[in-house]
Amino acid sequence: MSDEPLAFSPDQFSGLARIFPLPNLVMFPHVMQALHIFEPRYRALFEEAIDDDRLIALGVLAAGWEDDYAGRPPLRPTACLCRIATHQKTDQGTYNVLVLGVRRLRLKQELPPHKPFRVVEADLVDDVEPGAAPPGTAAALQQRLLAAFKQAMPRIPNAYEQLDQLLGSQITLGMLADIVAYTIDLGLETKVQLLAESDVLRRARLLLEAIAARPPSRPRRPFPPDFSAN
């Protein structure tokens, strides 16, 4: 098992994103995701990242990807840049990997296929909070979101204690919204919309609306999450 430094600064990103596309997982900044990498093209992607900047981008395939999965099916325009946290090579030559989401990416133009994997020109997207919002708006939304999060996942062991610790660590509203959006089962399209929203107040409100609209009996996302196989 190899552990890597997790700190990220924008100047470490070259503007070219190695894309690890997934059909039904939306990755968010501030959370960690386990991956099992076995396809040769994605092993090549991972090995290049380890030798270079330890950055890969988890993208989401657009609808209809089934018809061209082995090729270059369209991608959703927003992805999540991730830092490789740990990795382990198996006896079969595959990799078990843990990645940390570090920043949103806006995908622009895909490079010609000179490598086994896909590379896309991309811009980092920062969280923004409108300056015209009344004082205390973000704090009030954060309290509402934390309360909604507790109600949405009561069956997770020690959930309330962990969430109170989150609040005690004084994380930002944007960070909390990303953690909640990743953890709760909200449906793919809703999560894609939340990932694409850089306005943290609008993202929090959309998330609160989505949580309120969930059927009471809807299954919760397992925590910690299962491995995502490519």
Give CA separation, 124 vs 21, 26, 42, 103, 133, in Å: 18, 17, 22, 7, 24
pLDDT tens column, 7-24: 888 999 999 999 999 988
> Residue 168's pLDDT is what?
58
pLDDT at site 155: 62
Q: What is the dihedral of CA 154, 160, 164, 165, to 10 degrees?
A: -110
Map out the domains of the chain as residue ranges. Answer: 2-125, 137-212
For the ranges 59-73, 150-164, 177-191, the maximum mean pLDDT occurs at 177-191
Residue 158, Ramachandran bin (φ over 0: left; ψ between -120 and 50: alpha; else beta): left
For the residues 192-198, what does the mean pLDDT come to? 97
Q: What b/e string do you get for 186-208 counting C-beta neighbours within 10 Å, with b at 16 or more? A: beeebbbbbbbbbebbebbbbbb
Mean pLDDT of 35-60: 95
Residue type, 14: S
pTM confidence score: 0.86
**In this predicted model, what pLDDT tens digit does every residue of 146-161 receive, in sequence order?**
888 888 776 656 666 7
Listed ranges 131-145, 167-181, 185-199; the one with the highest mean pLDDT = 185-199
pLDDT band for position 227 (cuts 50, 70, 90): very low
Region of residue 30 (left: phi > 0; alpha: psi -120 to 50; beta: else): left
Q: Which CATH number fits domain 2-125: 2.30.130.40, 3.40.50.720, 3.40.50.360, 3.40.630.30?
A: 2.30.130.40
Instruction: Check whether 6 has a pLDDT greater than 50.
Output: yes
pLDDT at 1: 57
